[in-house]
Amino acid sequence: MGRDKYPRQSLGALHSQIKQARVLLIGAGGIGCELLKNLVLTGFGEIHIIDLDTIDLSNLNRQFLFRQEHIKKPKALVAKEVASKFNPSCTLTAHHANIKDTQLFPLSFFRSFTLVFNALDNLDARRHVNKMCLAADVPLIESGTTGFNGQVQVIKKGKTACYDCTEKEVPKTYPVCTIRSTPSQPIHCIVWAKSYLLPELFGVGEDEETSDQLDTSEDADNAEEIRNLKAEAQALKKIRESMGNDDFAKQVFNKVFRDDIDRLRGMEDMWKSRTRPTSLNYEALQSEASSSTDATISPSDQNTWTLLENFAIFKSSLHALSMRLKQNAGIAIAATEATNPAAVRPVITFDKDDPDTLDFVTSASNLRSHIFSIPLQSKFTVKQMAGNIIPAIATTNAMTAGLCVMQAFKVLRGDYFRAKMLFLENSGARALNSEPPRPPNPECAVCGIATGQVDVDPERATLNDLVDGVLKSELGYGEEMTIMNEVGPIYDPDMEDMLPKTFRELGLRDETFLTVIDDDEENPRVNLQLAVSSKRKLPAGSRPVVLAPTTAAMEDGRPEEAGQQRGTLEIARKPKKATSDRPEEMVEGNGVTVVIANGAANGTGTGKGKGKVKRSADEAGLDGADTLKRKLAADDDGTGSGAAGDASVVTNDSTKSNGDVDGDALGFDRAQAIMLDDAAAGDGSIVIDDD
């Protein structure tokens, strides 16, 4: 009782909601540690923590829940153990797992929470959680920091913009000719080792998939180098087949550090203004390194390794990764060979917290740097550059975590309008800035869509049951549609041979997401995202694919009759784009002239033409325009100014005072309309911008 005294006094009626809340915290790193501490001390009743990483020495300077003795232990488990001591009445559950594992964390898992907090450090995982929370209709509080800068955003389906509503910065790519032939900076060699050599040997090669850091778009300047890259990939593919042999390391070394370099040295024109590279000799390095170099210097990540040390670690990491790949292959074959032999393809990808892949990338990049007379880098520096790590600031994490909890209070009250976007900034007059929550972007491919769920019997359900039994019969889709899973299209009108296949044959497991694209040219629907679920037992005699009840229907408590669909899944139509070449239309009626402009009032619109046309007020649907009343929509500072939007209306009526226009009568959103005096007109007219 004493522990709850002050939170109860501070939070009032909200305190009971907090104690009953079930929240999910994804990420137990810099922000996650601070946020978990705040949630526990605030008194949240049940908290689940998910993190895949283990604790590293570099984490200890800012992730205060961890100590020296915790190194190499799972972050989620240690965070739970330590934080539970702050408030024993709080129930903590830890998951040392990948949040993207839909078998462990299906849609039903997300639906079980009152609120989700994101404290992740990578774009892909953030987008996954954003998608799952939208599909589950659970509020998400997204947060992140970059050095001294931080950001907190509340995301709620249908009320605010989601994480993908605004375009994110695309990771920098490097021209393949620079990476493969003419590196001049350490980052070029690091990208070569991480995004080319490692995938070719232990992952998906260039002929199968293009790395997101290699720009392989072919043009006149790099076409020949692209062809050389593909030829070298084939050579490495043959060497890969000898993995496990005693001379595997020697074959790889001679290929990438001798033969390929000798080929480049033979291109005379390339080295007229550059330092010619120098190839390495395996036997010479082996004889020097055998008696004086030990690969156990790997933990020394702050020091820059010598050439011989890099050579020794290259061989040892190559051996370690080879053994891991063979072990993974054996497990995969035992698990899947009987059902789908083609699916057996284990891979190893780069992870900044994986010692073997980090050792490989560090040593390989340094050997290449030595060849091209580029300064060598320490393992710590390579980890930062390869992992795109920006040093974190403990105080920024603490402030951001505090703001997350403050926003959570507003979410629990349902006060999304006051849950503003918050920004911590190291420049400017104020350290903390805010802006009103942005509305959902209708063009967003993630939240500007309809969502639903189909319950299936995977043994009986076929693609035809979904297409004809649900999409066409229940939802009214026509013939022109495309169905896609995470890999690509599985159905369109030209793929009718796929219809008889069962969900199991198509690899549509439980918690798979399908996207239905309406290809109707006249009046298409927005995209529909369907979650496939096989957990709910279908009523006796029902079809093998059934559209699940909507959230509203599931909440009303009514029993579902066999084979009946409760709740209607509403799928909006895509907004029609204006095709008129007339940017402005002048409407006359009841003594009022209204100019509707297909552009902003300040002249920045996107309309094609410049002229004005007139039509009657009845035709325009503006009956009663003589009763319009003007309302001013002032901005935050009370000046009444605002930005122009996509449509504007100018009223020109000399018989009315400067104050008689009503935006509601014209069909504008009262909350979004911004009305400005049109001083240029000189006739008392105003402009209404619906932005």
pLDDT tens string 472-528? 988 989 899 999 988 889 999 888 899 999 888 888 888 788 999 999 888 888 899
Number of Cβ atoms within 10 Å of the Cβ of 604:
9
Q: Is 639 exposed, middle or buried (0-12, 13-18, 19+ CB in 10 A)?
A: exposed
Q: Find residue 528's DSSP bridge partners.
A: 450, 516
The residue whose two tokens read 């990578």 is 122
> Which of 52-66, 102-116, 250-264, 614-628 is least confident?
614-628
Contact between 471 and 481 (Cβ < 8 Å):
yes
* pLDDT at residue 260 is higher than 60: yes
CB 625 within 8 A of CB 594: yes
Q: What are phi and psi of 584, to 5 degrees?
A: -135, 140
d(CA 397, CA 415): 25
Q: Which tens digits make up the pLDDT trace of 80-102?
A: 999 999 999 999 999 999 898 88
| 488 contacts: CB under 8 Å, gap ≥ 6 | none
Beta 592-597 vs 584-589: how paired, if at all?
Answer: antiparallel
- d(Cα 543, Cα 566) in Å, to the nearest integer? 15
* Token pair for 578: 């204006």
In the predicted structure, residue 236 carries a pLDDT above the cut 60: yes
- Are 28 and 76 spatial neighbours (Cβ–Cβ below 8 Å)? yes
CA separation for the pair 417, 429 (Å, rounded)? 25
Distance from C-alpha of 310 to C-alpha of 364, rounded to nearest angstrom: 7
pLDDT bucket at 329, cuts 50 / 70 / 90: low
Whether the full predicted model's pTM is greater than 0.85, yes or no, is: no
Domains detected in the chain? 4-170+391-435 (3.40.50.720), 176-211+226-387 (1.10.10.520), 450-547 (3.10.290.20)
Which one-letter amino acid corresponds to residue 662?
D
Average pLDDT in the chain: 77
User: How far are the Cα atoms of 44, 77, 333, 352, 355 from residue 116, in angstroms, in the given order?
Assistant: 12, 19, 37, 26, 31
For residues 239 and 371, the model is more confident at 371
Here the tokens at position 388 are 């795109």
C-alpha distances in Å from residue 598, one per residue of 6, 344, 676: 56, 56, 17
Q: Answer for the pair 600, 644: CB distance below 8 angstroms, yes or no.
A: yes
pLDDT more than 70, % of the chain: 71
Which of the four pLDDT bands, split at 50, 70 and 90, describes residue 200? confident
What pLDDT sits at residue 113?
97
Phi-psi region for residue 93, left (φ > 0), alpha (ψ -120 to 50) or beta? Answer: beta
Query: Cα–Cα distance between 573 and 569 in angstroms, integer?
Result: 13
CA distance 660 to 662: 7
Element at 109 (helix H, strand E): helix 107-111
Q: What is the pLDDT of residue 282?
A: 93
Closest CA relative to residue 41, chosen from 94, 82, 93: 82
**Segment 190-198 mean pLDDT:** 91
Distance set, CA 187 to CA 96, 195, 215, 603 (Å): 32, 11, 15, 45
Q: Decide if 530 contacts 471 (C-beta within 8 A).
A: no
Q: How far is CA 471 from CA 452, 455, 474, 477, in A?
A: 12, 14, 6, 6
DSSP, collapsed to helix, strand or coil, labels residue 61 as helix
Mean pLDDT of 313-329: 87
State residue 227's pLDDT score.
63
In 3D space, the residue among 642, 648, 644 whose CA is nearest the CA of residue 598 turns out to be 648
Backbone angles phi, psi at 149, to 5 degrees: -100, 145
- Is it the case that residue 564 has pLDDT exceeding 80? no
133 belongs to the catalytic site? no
d(CA 590, CA 665) in angstroms, rounded, equals 14
- Confidence class of residue 588 from pLDDT cuts 50, 70 and 90? very low
Asked if pLDDT for residue 434 goes beyond 80, the answer is: yes
Residue 39: per-residue pLDDT: 96
Mean pLDDT of 545-573: 58
State the Cα angle at 128 between 193 and 348, rounded to 5°: 30
Most distant CA pair in the chain: distance in Å?
100
Cα–Cα distance measured from residue 374 to residue 417, given in angstroms and rounded to the nearest whole number: 54
Q: Return the pLDDT at 170.
A: 63
CA atoms within 13 A on the CB side of 572: 11
For residue 536, give every residue at least 6 positions away whose Cβ sits within 8 Å of its Cβ, in sequence order, or none. 455, 548
Q: Model confidence over 262-308: pLDDT tens digits?
A: 988 888 877 887 889 999 999 999 888 765 566 677 777 888 999 99
- In which band, very low, low, confident or very high, does the pLDDT at 168 lie, cut at 50, 70 and 90? confident
Q: Are 65 and 42 in contact (CB under 8 A)?
A: no
Find, among 134, 195, 206, the residue nearest to 163 by Cα: 134
Tell me what the mean pLDDT of segment 159-166 comes to: 93
Give the DSSP letter string of 151-169.
Answer: EEEEE-TTTS--TTSSPPP
Q: Measure the CA–CA gap between 610 and 240, rounded to whole angstroms.
A: 65
DSSP character string of 248-269: HHHHHHHIIIIIHHHHHHT-GG
Q: Number of C-alpha atoms within 13 angstroms, CB side, residue 644?
A: 20
Catalytic entry in 162, 165, 177, 447: 177
- What's the pLDDT band for 48 if we cut at 50, 70, 90? very high
> H or E element: which one contains 491?
strand 489-491
Beta bridge partners, 690, equal: 673
Of how many residues is the chain composed?
Answer: 691
Q: How confident is the model over 51-72, as pLDDT tens digits?
A: 988 887 778 888 999 999 998 8
3-state secondary structure of 435: strand
Instruction: Report the first-to-last Cα separation within the chain, whole angstroms.
Output: 51
The enclosing H or E element of 584 equals: strand 584-589
Give the Cα separation of 213 and 178 in Å (integer): 12
Question: What is the distance between the alpha carbons of residues 297 and 379, in angstroms, rounded to a whole number?
Answer: 11
pLDDT digits (tens, 9 = 90+) for 390-402: 667 899 999 999 9
Q: Could you tell me which residues are beta bridge partners of residue 291?
A: none
Among 324-338, 471-485, 606-620, the range of highest mean pLDDT? 471-485
Mean pLDDT, range 345-365, rounded to an integer: 87
**Structure-model confidence comparison of residues 176 and 187, the more confident one:** 187
Burial class of residue 487, CB neighbours in 10 A (0-12, 13-18, 19+): exposed
Whether the Cβ atoms of residue 33 and residue 65 lie closer than 8 Å to each other: yes
Q: What is the DSSP letter of 468?
A: I
- Residue 422: pLDDT band (50, 70, 90) is very high
Residue 583 scores a pLDDT above 50: no
- What is the pLDDT averaged over residues 554-562? 41
pLDDT at 163: 94
| 76, 96 Cβ separation under 8 angstroms | yes
DSSP state of 114: S
H helices then E strands: how many in the chain?
20, 22
Q: How many C-beta atoms surround the C-beta of residue 668 within 10 A?
A: 21
